[in-house]
């Protein structure tokens, strides 16, 4: 449905760092690793400003979405590792936040 972007969206992404959930505290680590873009779930204003100071773009896709994609895979791995455990990813959990179109 959309995302938040800090930096020039037309610039090539270059080296990309990915942090699920809240990735603001990872800005210095991503900068030290030479990332030109950080993709994360959410980021605070001052962390986004720090990223821009490192000439690093930020793409924030939403906290829930950045973690949700891995849940089914994690449930499968846990079920395999612990055969007596019935583990599954929720089919009904939803992001409590929604994007509002700007039209």
Place domain 4-68 in its CATH homologous superfamily. Answer: NIF3 (NGG1p interacting factor 3)-like (3.40.1390.30)
Q: 24: which DSSP letter? A: G
3-state secondary structure of 10: coil
Residue-wise pLDDT for 12-66, tens only, equals: 999 999 999 999 999 999 999 999 999 999 999 999 999 999 999 999 999 988 8
Domain layout of the chain by residue ranges: 4-68
Q: Which H or E run contains 37?
A: strand 37-42
Task: Tell me if the pTM is above 0.85.
Answer: no
């Amino acid at each position: 449905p959309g995302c938040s972007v800090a930096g020039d969206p037309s610039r090539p992404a270059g080296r990309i760092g990915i942090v699920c959930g809240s990735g603001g505290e990872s800005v210095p680590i991503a900068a030290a690793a030479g990332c030109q873009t950080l993709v994360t779930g959410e980021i605070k204003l001052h962390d986004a400003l720090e990223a821009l100071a490192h000439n690093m773009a930020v793409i924030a896709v939403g906290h829930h979405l950045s973690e949700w994609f891995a849940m089914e895979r994690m449930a499968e791995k846990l079920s395999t590792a612990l055969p007596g455990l019935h583990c599954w990813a929720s089919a009904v959990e939803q992001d409590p936040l929604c994007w509002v179109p700007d039209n």
